[in-house]
Amino acid sequence: PNAEINTADDTWTWIGKVSGSYTFPWGILGGASYSIRNGSRLARQVQILAPSGSSISNLVVNAEPIGSLSLENVGLFDLRAAKRFGLGSGRSFELRLDCYNVMNVNPVTSIVTRAGPTFGNATASENGGQNGTGLTPPRIFGLEGRFTF
């Protein structure tokens, strides 16, 4: 029965996204995108240690219902600028500049949920995060050239 304590996940996941683009004079394309999703819904866990020498294994259970811990929502704003140059005969070269996480927000996306001295610290997340941590990646710029023929 311990495997059934506080295991029901009755939380909701939601996500929203809005994006748009505009072609400026001289054929410069500008684009913007904003996406937001709810933060992870978690539960504090405790580990129950079996007496040494016993045949009973250690047990990890949720001490609270799933959703009792909520991480902050993650909203990201991205921008793009692009210019395409026609080279004739159906060939073209496009130059793009992207900026991801323009506002450089850094909400935590994963924490240690097991009770103990590191409880609540950012940790590696299943989605990877920044360098395997539970942090949102910082502002990143990308420059891309694309030749089409």
**What size, in residues, is the chain?**
149
Rounded (10°) CA dihedral 17, 146, 81, 89: -110
Closest CA to 44 of 13, 12, 73, 66: 66
pLDDT digits (tens, 9 = 90+) for 112-145: 888 888 888 887 655 555 555 677 888 999 999 9
Confidence at residue 124, expressed as pLDDT on a 0 to 100 scale: 67
Q: Are 21 and 30 in contact (CB under 8 A)?
A: yes
* pTM for this model (two decimals): 0.76
pLDDT digits (tens, 9 = 90+) for 65-87: 999 999 999 999 999 999 999 99
Closest CA to 82 of 148, 145, 18, 19: 145
